Amino acid sequence: MAAVARPRHAARAVGLLAALAVLALIAVVSIAVGAKQMSLDEVWHGLFAYAGTPADVVVRDLRIPRTLLGLMVGLGLGLSGAVMQALTRNPLAEPGILGVNAGAAAAVVSAISFFGASSLSEFVWWAFLGAAAVSVVVYVLGGSRSATPVRLALAGTAASAALVGYINAVQLMDTKALDKLRFWTVGSLASANMDTVRQVAPFLLVGAVLALALGRPLNAMAMGDDTARALGAHLTRTRVGAMIAITLLCGAATAACGPIVFIGLMVPHLVRAFTGPDMRWVLAYSAVLSPVLLLGADVIGRVVTRPAELQVGVVTALIGGPVFIYLVRRKRMAQL
């Protein structure tokens, strides 16, 4: 058995290095390619010889923050999706199942309508607060210490339905909120700047470290609660940690860019087909390949409608819809 495990471990390691190389390549492409066509010399000049020219500004002040935010948001969505699927033991689960996206959107629309919030920097904090609050409510409704994956999923679904109704009601009564929220709810990296990057980075960093640390206990939980206890896993602590990680990762990502769909669903599921059920590898691969998918979709959106842009949330939905149908219709799906 050990002899069989070693080649598979080596293949996973090599695959992860290849994924990192692809991530580096797509990050370079994201900086070099956009709605505004630029030569490689102009891109190089903007990176290493900044002089304030229009091309330099596009590269340094627009594309670099956009790429950095795409890297972080992709990582957050991928890790939160992987943790969500392990927590609910559902390979087709996605982060919104706990109401995190709905909580963030409800907080933002409330801030716009009742408190006059108007900038992305304000949206970030309100959305994160809403995501955290809903996660706590869902955990309590799901049974707190006695929470089970099914209870958490049901509580999250109920909370999402109630919050969507609230959001629609506020938007119907306040057209100002509707106008300001409309662009955010599409899901976009177009408004990225270094202030947003700095604001969400601490939350995403803490969430990523916590999520990666949960790999071993999530592996134990996948074998059932009794077996996990026998193996020494602390179920309540693991579920609370997973909830916190999902809140930090998905909440911060949603706050910065709006609700971007299918990243947290597609990547962990596809990764599992290669790595197997070991969550340590699933989390590592998801952290690398989710930014690849998000940045790739963003580049496609910038190119296909030049000089206009197609927002990344639209592109991921167009890609994710057919992929999701394919995954559902597969006779053999990777199981948790």
Percentage of the chain beyond pLDDT 90 is 26
Residue 101 lies in a domain: yes
Residue 334 lies in a domain: no
Residue 3 lies in a domain: no
What digits encode the pLDDT tens for the residues 103-133?
888 888 888 888 887 776 777 788 888 888 8
Residue 118 lies in a domain: yes
The number of angstroms, rounded, from the C-alpha of 129 to the middle of its chain's C-alpha atoms is 17
Q: What are φ and ψ of residue 50, in 5° steps?
A: -60, 125
Note the pLDDT of residue 296.
94
Residue 88 lies in a domain: yes
Spatial separation of the C-alpha atoms in residues 336 and 333, rounded to whole Å: 10
Note the pLDDT of residue 267.
92
Residue 260 lies in a domain: yes
pTM of the predicted structure, to 2 decimals: 0.86
Kindly report which listed range (20-24, 65-69, 86-90) carries the lowest average pLDDT score: 86-90
Note the pLDDT of residue 30.
95
Do residues 133 and 103 make contact, with C-beta atoms less than 8 angstroms apart? yes
Q: Is the pLDDT of residue 10 over 90?
A: no
Q: Is the peptide bond before 307 cis (omega within 30 degrees of 0)?
A: yes
Do residues 9 and 276 make contact, with C-beta atoms less than 8 angstroms apart? no
Residue 1 lies in a domain: no
**pLDDT higher at 232 or 114:** 114
The number of angstroms, rounded, from the C-alpha of 259 to the middle of its chain's C-alpha atoms is 9
Note the pLDDT of residue 27.
96
Task: Please report, for the domain that includes residue 133, its CATH number.
Answer: 1.10.3470.10
Residue 89 lies in a domain: yes
Q: Domain range for residue 265?
A: 8-329
**Total structural domains in the chain?**
1
Kindly report which listed range (83-87, 148-152, 328-332) carries the lowest average pLDDT score: 328-332
Residue 48: partners with Cβ closer than 8 Å, 6 or more residues away:
none
Confidence of residue 183 (pLDDT cuts 50, 70, 90): low
Note the pLDDT of residue 184.
66
Computed over every residue of the chain, the mean pLDDT equals 84
